[in-house]
Structure 1
Amino acid sequence: MTAVATEFEYHAPQRHRMPPWLAVAIAVFCIGWGGNQFTPLLIAYAQHSGYTRVDVDILLGAYVLGLIPGLLIASTLSDRHGRRNVMAAGVISAALGSVVLAIGDYWGFGPLFVGRLFSGVAVGIAMAVGSAWIAELSRPPYDDASSGAGARRASICLSLGFGVGPLCAGLLTVYAPLPLVLTYLVHAALCVPVLWAVWNRTVETRVHTTDRPFLDGLKVPAAAHRRFLHVVVPMAPWIFGSAAVAYAVVPALVADRLGSWALLYTVGLTVLTLGCGVLIQPVARRLDDVSSSRAVVVSMALMTLGIFAAVATAVTGSPIIAALVAMLLGSAYGIAIVSGLLEIQRISPPDELAGISGVYYSLAYLGFLLPAVLAALAHWFSYPVMLSAVGVLAVVCTAVCASGWAKHLSPRTPARRVR
């Protein structure tokens, strides 16, 4: 019965000549766009809307409050109700988030905060359900792609969305009418055809959904795997922690020297960070080794270098050094996000993949709160001091990841590299 249902679902998209994973990837891209389009506008909100640096950093991290529940609950909901239904809800949440953010330019901090929550829920669904769904559709019988292709496809599409969103937002805010409004409406309009594609051009991999109690579905035994605890957990918060430093903290450190160019520079730095994150991912694939934590350790080493380069930026206020920081931390982000996904796919049974993806991304997005923490502490400490402390913490986490180099490997994993 299962095989027949799966075969029927598999052949449907072939009539439309669309790879089974592509419509899901487009949805992940669109949601990533909406989740990160707010980032380069921090300076605009601070300069033109009267918000303090703490205010805008709180808004930047606010969607973590929506994202983490979305990550942890969405996977269980998709097991019960199917991937398609939950992913469609994610696209709708992304569109609502953009509409509310557009209203927030007139109604103030409250709607902006709520809009960021909606965006967070959407990104949580994209990461937990979208990543797992793409991974499922990148394996037989749906696709004959190489091992690890699902992780790369998911991370690349998400990273592209995270990069294109800020680029369009910044350009529309600077050159188009209705700044801080039109950019959100454009994204909301984009969500309409994407929602149609999710509903009509996807393959449902959860043909027979589970009827186990909802609370039991929230349990993720793979999260207690020693490999996950010793290698993935110490690295995960640095994934978006490093990205947040690159395109939320560093631009503010050089803004005074850029004057009216500060917003466009922030856009450029955001695109540079995430562009490096995308371009480095083929290298991440080659660095990955099923018998060691090599890729994870390399990503952490790059993060450490990038953080200490950010210290130099804080001291000198140099836009050139800031660009170097973006390249280092962007490359670290790209290697880390792929290596972490490959690690969890090796230790997780198929029916726990969405759940462990949710836990992984929840830990990763804790790092996105770093700019708000630093802004709050700036009343007592300078940024060179705080970033130096962050760099020391990165060194410690690198050592912890290295200590689990070849420990607690999954017995299900063949002793070969992922290609």
Structure 2
Amino acid sequence: MNEPGVLLRQRGRVWWGAGAAVAAVGWGAQQFAPLLLMYRAELGVGAATVQAVFATYVVGLIPGLLFGGPVSDRYGRRPVVLAALAASVAASALLLAGGHGIGWLFAGRLVAGFASGAGFSAGAAWIRELSAGAVDDGERGPRRATVAMTAGFGLGPLVAGVLAQWAPARTVLPYLPHLLLAVAALPLVRLTPETRTAGDGRVHIPDMSSRRFRTVVAPLAPWVFGVVAVGIAYLPGLVERRLGGYVLLFCTLVTLLGAAAGIAVVPVARRVARSGSRRLLATALGTVVAGLVVAAVAAATTDPLLVVAAVLVLGAAYGCCQVCGLAEVQRIARPGQLAGLTAAYQAISYLGLAVAVPLAAVDHIVAPSVLLLGLASLAALTLVLTVRAAR
């Protein structure tokens, strides 16, 4: 481990290598999002099938999180992040073959999920540790981790969507930029100071028994990526018929705008947090409710502009919830268990990505607007219960 003095002198940019790795893994995770409707046409499969491919990511993600966090607490952040980058490269290689069959897409999304789980749990903890200093306000690390993740979430779909819309070989070329980025991040990670030394020989299971984790963090977590799934995976399909030949461009736009809103809201979340963690919690979940209500109106009218408005609000909700959740975990975690508890939180949060699957499966029976209003009611109930529990 580097001497503290060296780390403090480099504090302004020492986290960049870890941030680049997290952004690269995030790029690989979300580059598939704007291509959902393209694969429906290319492979002739239904909406529920492509939503299942999108959600398969969660199946790989949870073991990745449970592996990455505790193992990096025991053996160090760098080896786990390097392994995550390698897995992210493998995932894109599998997705390259997706134009030849749906099985390749399932496999690629599964491996991408594992890469994200390991990379985000270890990488987010690494960024927070590299950001800690004498003048740290306790929020700098979570903010930087959120920005790194969200930058990848936004740029990956942007580049992939533009290439799929206008470049040849649209099931192949969208994945090449991620391969280059992930390979370029490897030397940066190797140069980033390690913040963990070898532990006592055991991989510790994170302690999730604290009352605040059970009553505040766990109920909040699924909304972090639940709003992402609604915004970028579900809503665009509802207005597909009104987009003509610009379906991919529209999907790219809403994914980028959602990520941009998630980054833009981070300074606001920081200011709100100064008034207390309960205020940030209420703001985050209140924004979730507002975004889902706007999404319900967009579904009822099938207006693409209202879909864009909903995605902006939902993106802001994602950013607030992510900052709130990571800050809560940082506050709760015991010494030596930060990455493990981060992994547990993220495992719960990514379950929200699966919400688009049941929505797509039943929206021919129940109106999408009614389904989304039901989600908004559930979010409002979560708001009431968590704010009360956080007293």
The TM-score normalised by the length of structure 1 is 0.89
What residue is the counterpart of 1:316 in the other structure?
Answer: 301
1:404 Cα deviation after fit: 1.9
Give yes or no for contact 1:79–1:210 (8 Å, CA) kept in 2.
no
Which SS does the other structure have where 2:3 is aligned? Answer: helix
Q: Return the letter of the residue paired with 1:26.
A: A
1:1-400 maps to which residues of 2 (within 5 A)?
5-7=1-3, 11=6, 19-106=13-100, 108-140=101-133, 145-199=136-190, 201-212=191-202, 214=203, 217=204, 219-221=205-207, 223-289=208-274, 291-400=276-385
1:290 Cα deviation after fit: 7.4
Percent identity over the alignment is: 38
Write out per-residue CA displacement over residues 295-322 of structure 1, whole angstroms, 9 at most, x where no aligned residue.
Answer: 1111111111111111111111011211
Give yes or no for contact 1:276–1:334 (8 Å, CA) kept in 2.
yes
Give yes or no for contact 1:53–1:375 (8 Å, CA) kept in 2.
yes
CA distance in 2: counterparts of 1:121 and 1:196, whole angstroms: 21
1:251 Cα deviation after fit: 0.7
Q: Structure 2: 5+ residue runs without aligned partners?
A: none
Give yes or no for contact 2:280–2:320 (8 Å, CA) kept in 1.
yes
Q: Return the letter of the residue paired with 1:205.
A: T
Q: Return the letter of the residue paired with 2:3.
A: E
Which SS does the other structure have where 2:192 is aligned? Answer: coil
1:291 Cα deviation after fit: 4.5
CA distance in 2: counterparts of 1:203 and 1:52, whole angstroms: 47
Give yes or no for contact 1:254–1:319 (8 Å, CA) kept in 2.
yes
CA distance in 2: counterparts of 1:280 and 1:321, whole angstroms: 20
Which SS does the other structure have where 2:245 is aligned? Answer: helix
CA distance in 1: counterparts of 2:238 and 2:25, whole angstroms: 29
Q: Return the letter of the residue paired with 1:76.
A: P
CA distance in 2: counterparts of 1:336 and 1:115, whole angstroms: 28
1:18 Cα deviation after fit: 8.0
CA distance in 2: counterparts of 1:304 and 1:12, whole angstroms: 41
CA change 1:35–1:292 in 2 (3 A) is: closer
Which SS does the other structure have where 2:237 is aligned? Answer: helix
Give yes or no for contact 1:80–1:210 (8 Å, CA) kept in 2.
yes
CA distance in 2: counterparts of 1:12 and 1:281, whole angstroms: 25
Give yes or no for contact 2:7–2:130 (8 Å, CA) kept in 1.
no
CA distance in 1: counterparts of 2:35 and 2:277, whole angstroms: 40
1:377 Cα deviation after fit: 2.2
Query: What is the aligned-residue RMSD (CA, Å)?
Result: 1.9
Q: Structure 1: 5+ residue runs without aligned partners?
A: 407-419
CA distance in 1: counterparts of 2:229 and 2:223, whole angstroms: 9
CA distance in 2: counterparts of 1:385 and 1:27, whole angstroms: 40
1:131 Cα deviation after fit: 0.5
1:338 Cα deviation after fit: 0.2
Q: Return the letter of the residue paired with 1:134.
A: I
The number of residue pairs the alignment matches comes to 391
CA distance in 2: counterparts of 1:7 and 1:136, whole angstroms: 14
Give yes or no for contact 1:138–1:144 (8 Å, CA) kept in 2.
no
Which SS does the other structure have where 1:260 is aligned? Answer: coil
Q: Return the letter of the residue paired with 2:308.
A: A
Give yes or no for contact 2:212–2:390 (8 Å, CA) kept in 1.
no
CA distance in 2: counterparts of 1:35 and 1:253, whole angstroms: 23
Write out per-residue CA displacement over residues 236-272 of structure 1, whole angstroms, 9 at most, x where no aligned residue.
Answer: 1011001111111111111111111121111111111
CA change 1:246–1:262 in 2 (3 A) is: same
Which SS does the other structure have where 2:182 is aligned? Answer: helix
The TM-score normalised by the length of structure 2 is 0.95
CA distance in 2: counterparts of 1:47 and 1:337, whole angstroms: 34
Give yes or no for contact 2:294–2:310 (8 Å, CA) kept in 1.
yes
Give yes or no for contact 1:273–1:329 (8 Å, CA) kept in 2.
yes
What residue is the counterpart of 1:412 in the other structure?
Answer: none
